[in-house]
Each structure stands twice: as structure tokens, then as C-alpha cells.
Chains A and B, each alone.
Chain A
Amino acid sequence: MTDEPSRPRSRILPLVTPENEHFWRGGADGELRFLRCRACRTFVHPPAPVCPECLSFDLAPEAVSGRAELLTFTENHQPWIPGFDPPYLVAIVEIEEQKGLRLTTNLVNCATEDVRIGMPVRVVFEDVGDGVHLPLFEPAED
């Protein structure tokens, strides 16, 4: 009955490093984590060694609520990756805690015709092995 795009049988995983580990593995604890500057409280993503606002080197991972706004999306129909069969929804979301704190993700548990730019979404994690939990997003109530 559902028009919801499929979930992939396999994905290309990120190379986990000390610099990005908080992001890719935080989902194991149910947390979406970003680096945050301890001096000026700016979230910094993708991870960087220095705060782009105040140039402090004192950054540490911190969890956010996981609530976000859908900025834009596309329904991909072209097979690019073996085992990752189209159609599927790719999206850019902006995390509630800070304007400009964004990531590319998949929109899941949502039929394509129900997607609205600006809609509230929330994180759900997909355990893809190797300790990596991908942050995906699904519709949230207002």
C-alpha cells in the first residue's frame, strides 16, 4: 500500500576516524552528536580542529535533540551504488539547535508525495555495522 521508497540492502560506509567518530558512532547511544566550541558554543560540522567563529581549539562533541527542518530533498531514481536500489529520498536537513548546522541524509518512513520542504523531521539511526549508525530522518509532529 505504501509508496514509501525502499531501504538499501547495502550502503557505502564512512571511514571512521578519531575526528568523526562522535558523529558516526553516537547513534549507538541514540545520540546525534556534533563538535561544539566550548568558548563560544558554536556547533561545527563537518568536524574541524578550530572553531570558525572564535578560532578556539577547544571543541568537544555534544548531543543535539535530533529535531531538524527539511531544507530540500530529491527522489533519486538512478542506480548509482550496487545494492542501493532506487528510488530513495536524499535530503538536506538543518538541525534545530543552530542555523546552518546541516547534513545530507535520507528521509525515511515517508511517502514521496507527503514530503514538504520546511517540514519538521527527527533523527532515526540505522545500524549499518562496523559500529556505524547512520543518522536518517523521518517526519516529526509539529
Chain B
Amino acid sequence: MEILERRAVITGIGQSEVGRRLHRDPLALTAEACLAAIDDAGLRREDINGLSTYPGGMVPGAPGFTGAGCTEVQDMLRLEVDWYNGGPEQPGQLGSVINACAAVATGLATHVLCFRTVWEATAQGGGRRAGIGTSGGKGFRASGFMQWTLPFGAASAANWIAMFAQRHFHEYGTTREQLAQIALNARKNAALNPKAIYREPLTMEDYLGARIISTPFGLYDCDVPADGCTAVIVSRAEVARDLRRPPIRVEATGSALRGRPSWDQWDDLTTMALRDAAAMLWSRTDLKPADVDVAELYDGFSFIALAWLEALGFCGKGEGGPFVEGGARIARDGEIPLNTQGGQLSAGRLHGYGFLHEACVQLWGEGGGRQVAGDPQVAVAAAGGGPLGGCLLLTRR
């Protein structure tokens, strides 16, 4: 069987200004990132004939959750596309990139501009982070999957993911001090990333002393809403040879969904849909977890990164706590450098795309002060938690 996604490569990346409450038009952020990515690949906008995004326009959600959709970008840049894709029902945020790989591999497009814009920091303003679906006002009734959670005040992924973490703590003895390392490691890396939102040192004491959001999660287990757009160009390998950069190869993708796609019906409450996405990824390559030089794993909540570490086989099932304990293994000079840009926990919630962007930065050796030593050749980028999950294995080889 041909692993068809290997016909796809990444040829360029771009990112807008990133920050808290930039008060900029999300479309302006989008244009900034998209044009940067097109330029980075050495392409002109006329070369782009595909578009892909998550979750796309016309999607209700928390304020600022949807920054820009395909049709808006197509119109704004007057692109002529043969293929486009946007929507929330994908294998996580990076599902939109996986779909782009499929599009170029099958010849439906040649160069796909993939993007994700968030402006949650500005949209939420000075207020608290909103619960999902809680803005309906008097007389509002919860329907769909929210009917099973909202009446009980479980209005946020913070609650849903916290219950997965709690179950993991129960079954495997995982501790808050262990989980803290995901956040502390992210902050250390963020200190070396000029675009990261929180760069000042964070101690274990700070972590444990922070206000509780939803046990076992405290403030530093939750990512920080941001404004920004990240864009990536996915190209068909055979046309990418003469472009500006050495292309990054897509070795394998993981997009599987096997269990019940729900926050509370999932069979194993110590893992999530990412379990099967990760397993699929390894079923499509001869590479092994030990071959990976850098891991950029979704940390919308700290526990999700821990679950990805386990699911991707960087440690055994249930062993995530001891694996990250002390932080040395996941440090920039450790066994598997994790979230080298600072993750969403410290660099900002760019919603999945930040991890893919950073994987490319590291493989191209452009991490500056945060660059992983030894010329990394293989990276994994993964995004999604709960019922969403998708991942890509990328190589320079």
C-alpha cells in the first residue's frame, strides 16, 4: 500500500503578530500570516489553488473562536481555488492540514494554503473566559451534546478534560507535581520565544499556589487565549523541488476515530480520541517514537500533552507522570524536547497550528535561542483533545 500522504510536503510557514488583546481585525491577522507563508514558500498567490482551515466560518462557539473562514480568505486574496475545506468536524485542528495532504496527494490541488485564526483574547475582552454555549440568555435550552453537560454546570473543556486527568491520577497515581512539568517546561521554552505571551519564570510554587479552575487543574494547566493567525503551505512533492526551501516531508498522518466521540462516553477515561489517531500514525511508517527529535503536542490543558506523550509511545500507557517528573526528559536538551515554542500554555492558544509551525521551525533549524541542538530531522505535531485528535509525522530526510 502506498502511503499517499508522502506525496505531500510543507513548503512554507507564516505567522501574524501574536498577543493578548491586539484589537486588530482577525482578517488582517489572517492576511498577514497567509501572505507570509506564501512568500516563505517562494510562491505567488496565483500559485495557491487550495484552502483549508479549522473550524471555518459560520461556526458558533466561544467569542473569537472563529477568526476567518475559507470563503473570506478566498475573497480577500482573490484566490482561485480548485479545492477547499473548512469545518469543525475534522480530526482536530490539524485535520485541516491532513485533509490538505490528501488533496495534493490525489491531485485535487497543488499548493494548499492552510490557516487558523483566533482572536479569543480580544473577543473575550477584560472578562473571564466564557463557558461554551452559555451565552444563550433567559429561556435558552441546551441541545445536542451540550444538553448532557450544561445542565450540570460542566460548561467548559476545563471541566471535561479535568475529569480525564482525575481518572488518570486515580488509575496511575499521577500527581499535580508531575503534571506541573508540562506547564513549567512550556514556560522555560517560552522565555526563549520572542513571540510567546508569558515569558517570565514560573516556579512549582507558583503553579501549585495558583487558583484552582477545576480540580485537578489550576490556572497554569489552562492555555492562554491569544490573538493571531498561523498559516502553512502544503504542496505536492513533485512540484516542490525548485521552491525556496528544502521541503519538509509528510511521513505519516493519524486521523483515526474509533471510540465514542464524546467527552463522557469515551471508553477509557485516561486517554482520548488522540489514542487512535496516534496509533494510526505509527501504523503508516517504519519510523519509531525513538526516531523523533522533537515533539510539538497540543496542550490546551496540560493533561492533553501528557496523554499525547503516552499515546504516541514516548512512554508507556499510564507512565506519563513519572516520565515528565522533574522535567528533564521533555526539556530542550532532553530525550524528547516538548513544545519548544512554549506551547499554548505560555506562547498562546493558536489552536493547534502553533505546534505544526514550531515543528517546521525546528526542522528548518530556525528556532534561534530555542533551537533544539543536533539538527533535528524528525518531528511530530499533534493537536486536539477529547473527541478530536490528529497528528503528523514530519521529516527532513
**Chain B residues in contact with chain A, CB under 8 A?**
128-131, 133-134, 136, 140-143, 145, 147-156, 158-159, 162-164, 166-167, 170, 211-217, 262-265, 267, 269
Contact = CB atoms under 8 A, between A and B. Distances in A.
Chain A, interface size: which category?
A: 35 or more
Interface string A88-116: 10111000000010111110000000000
A12 B214 contact: no
Most chain A Cβ neighbours within 10 Å, of B143, B158, B159, B216: B159
A17 B143 CA distance: 9
Nearest to A85: B153
Contacts of B153: 8, 11, 76, 80-81, 84, 88, 90, 106
Interface of A: 8, 11-17, 20, 45-46, 71-81, 84, 88, 90-92, 100, 102-106, 117-118, 128, 132, 134, 136
Nearest to A12: B150
Contacts of A13: 141-142, 151
Contacts of B164: 72
A135 B313 CA distance: 39
A134 B131 contact: no
A132 B152 CA distance: 13
23 contacts: A12-B134, A12-B155, A14-B142, A14-B143, A15-B141, A16-B141, A17-B143, A46-B148, A71-B167, A76-B159, A76-B213, A77-B213, A78-B213, A80-B134, A81-B153, A81-B155, A84-B153, A90-B153, A90-B163, A92-B163, A103-B264, A104-B154, A106-B153
B163 A73 contact: yes
Contacts of B217: 74
A71 B265 CA distance: 11
Contacts of B129: 78
Contacts of B159: 74, 76, 90
B81 to A, nearest CB: 37
Contacts of A136: 152
Nearest to B263: A104
Given A77-B211, A78-B158, A90-B159, A72 B152 contact: no
B131 A80 contact: yes
Nearest to A10: B138
A133 B212 CA distance: 30
A12 B213 contact: no
A117 B166 contact: yes
A15 B212 contact: no
B152 A105 contact: yes
A76 B154 contact: yes
Contact of B163 (A72, A84, A100, A106): A72
A118 B262 CA distance: 21
Given A72-B166, A80-B131, A102-B265, A15 B142 contact: yes
A117 B166 CA distance: 9
B147 to A, nearest CB: 4
Most B-side CB within 10 Å, residue of A15, A20, A46, A74: A74
